[in-house]
Amino acid sequence: MNDRMLVHKVYHRLSLLCLTPHTLPFKPVQFPSALSPAHVRARPLNGTVRSLRTTAVMATSRLRNLVPVNAVASEDGSGGASNGSVSSTAATTALEDEEDSTLGVRYRLPPQEIKDIVDAPPLPALSFSPHRDKILFLKRRSLPPLAELAKPEEKLAGVRIDGKCNTRTRMSFYTGIGIHQLLPDGTLGPEIEVHGFPDGAKINFVTWSPDGRHLAFTIRFDEEESTSSKLKVWVAQVETGIARPLFKSDEIFLNAVFDNFVWVNDSSLLVCTIPLSRGDPPKKPWVPFGPKIQSNEQKSIIQVRTFQDLLKDEYDEDLFDYYATTQLVLASLDGTVKEIGPPAVYTSMDPSPDHKYLLISSIHRPYSFIVPCGRFPKKVDLWTADGKLIRELCDLPLAEDIPIAINSVRRGMRSINWRADKPSTLYWVETQDEGDAKVDVSPRDIIYTQPAEPLEGEGPMILHKLDLRYGGISWSDDSLALVYESWYKTRRTRTWVISPGSNDVSPRILFDRSSEDVYSDPGSPMLRRTPAGTYVLAKVKKENEEGTYLLLNGNGATPEGNIPFLDLFDINTGNKERIWKSDKEKYYETVVALMSDEKEGDLPIDHLKILTSKESKTENTQYYILSWPEKKAFQITNFPHPYPQLASLQKEMVKYQRKDGVQLTATLYLPPGYDSSRDGPLPCLVWSYPGEFKSKEAAGQVRGSPNEFAGIGPTSALLWLARRFAILSGPTIPIIGEGDDEANDRYVEQLVASAEAAVEEVVRRGVAHPDKIAVGGHSYGAFMTANLLAHAPHLFSCGIARSGAYNRTLTPFGFQNEDRTLWEATSTYVKMSPFMSADKIKKPILLIHGEEDSNPGTLTMQSDRFFNALKGHGALCRLVILPYESHGYASRESIMHVLWETDRWLQKYCVSHTSTVNVDPDASKDNSGTVSKDSESKAIAASGGSGSEVSNTEHEGFDSLPRSLLW
Question: Contact 882/900 with Cβ under 8 angstroms?
Answer: no
Give SS3 for 535: strand
**Three-class HEC string of 907-929:** HHHHHCCCCCCCCCCCCCCCCCC
Question: Contact 65/33 with Cβ under 8 angstroms?
Answer: yes
CA–CA distance, 770 with 940 (Å, rounded to integer): 11
CA–CA distance, 878 with 866 (Å, rounded to integer): 11
Which residues neighbour 870 within 8 Å (Cβ) at sequence distance 6 or greater? 838, 841, 845, 877
Report pLDDT for 914. 59
CA–CA distance, 166 with 278 (Å, rounded to integer): 12
Report pLDDT for 544. 80
| Residue 576, Cβ density class (10 Å: 0-12 exposed, 13-18 middle, ≥19 buried) | middle
Q: What is the largest distance, in Å, between two alpha-carbon atoms of the chain?
A: 94
Residues annotated as part of the active site: 779, 853, 887
Q: Which is it for strands 726-729 and 682-687: parallel, antiparallel or unpaired?
A: parallel
CA–CA distance, 958 with 841 (Å, rounded to integer): 10
Q: How far is Cα of residue 551 from the mean position of the Cα atoms in its chain?
A: 28
CB-side neighbour CA atoms (13 Å) of 881: 22
Question: Contact 154/170 with Cβ under 8 angstroms?
Answer: no
Question: Contact 284/230 with Cβ under 8 angstroms?
Answer: no
Question: Contact 70/17 with Cβ under 8 angstroms?
Answer: yes
Which residues neighbour 388 within 8 Å (Cβ) at sequence distance 6 or greater? none
CA–CA distance, 219 with 897 (Å, rounded to integer): 31
CA–CA distance, 352 with 197 (Å, rounded to integer): 32
CA–CA distance, 932 with 922 (Å, rounded to integer): 8
Residues 441-493 pLDDT 10s:
999 999 999 999 999 889 999 999 999 999 999 999 999 999 999 999 999 99
pTM, 2 dp: 0.84
Domains of the chain: 644-911 (3.40.50.1820)
Q: Which is it for strands 768-778 and 682-687: parallel, antiparallel or unpaired?
A: parallel
Q: Which is it for strands 798-802 and 768-778: parallel, antiparallel or unpaired?
A: parallel
Determine which helix (DSSP H) or strand (DSSP E) holds 622, and give its type and residue range: strand 622-627
Range list of H helices, 17-86? 52-64
CA R_g for the chain: 29
Report pLDDT for 840. 97
The CA-atom distances, in angstroms, between 285 and each of 278, 319, 783, 946 are 20, 12, 41, 64
Report pLDDT for 382. 98
Give the long-range contacts of residues 631-634, CB within 8 A, separation 24 or more: 631/580, 633/186, 634/185, 634/186, 634/187
Determine which helix (DSSP H) or strand (DSSP E) holds 943, and give its type and residue range: helix 933-943
Which residues neighbour 776 within 8 Å (Cβ) at sequence distance 6 or greater? 685, 686, 687, 717, 782, 785, 799, 800, 801, 802, 902
Give SS3 for 942: helix
CA–CA distance, 58 with 42 (Å, rounded to integer): 13
Q: How far is Cα of residue 813 from the mean position of the Cα atoms in its chain?
A: 23
- pLDDT < 50 stretches in the chain: 1-38, 41-93, 95-96, 101, 916-967
Q: Residue length, the chain?
A: 967
Question: Contact 529/535 with Cβ under 8 angstroms?
Answer: yes
Question: Contact 854/149 with Cβ under 8 angstroms?
Answer: no
**Three-class HEC string of 674-741:** CCHHHHCCEEEEEECCCEEECCHHHHCCCCCCCCCCCCCCCCCHHHHHCCCCEEEECCCCEEECCCCC
Residues facing 233 on adjacent strands: 218
CA–CA distance, 831 with 787 (Å, rounded to integer): 10
Q: In what order do the strands lie in the sheet with 609-615?
A: 588-594, 609-615, 622-627, 632-635
Q: Is the dihedral of CA 720, 725, 731, 735 positive or negative?
A: negative
CA–CA distance, 109 with 77 (Å, rounded to integer): 5
The CA-atom distances, in angstroms, between 675 and each of 141, 187, 644, 652 are 37, 41, 20, 14
Count of C-beta atoms within a 10 Å radius of residue 291: 6
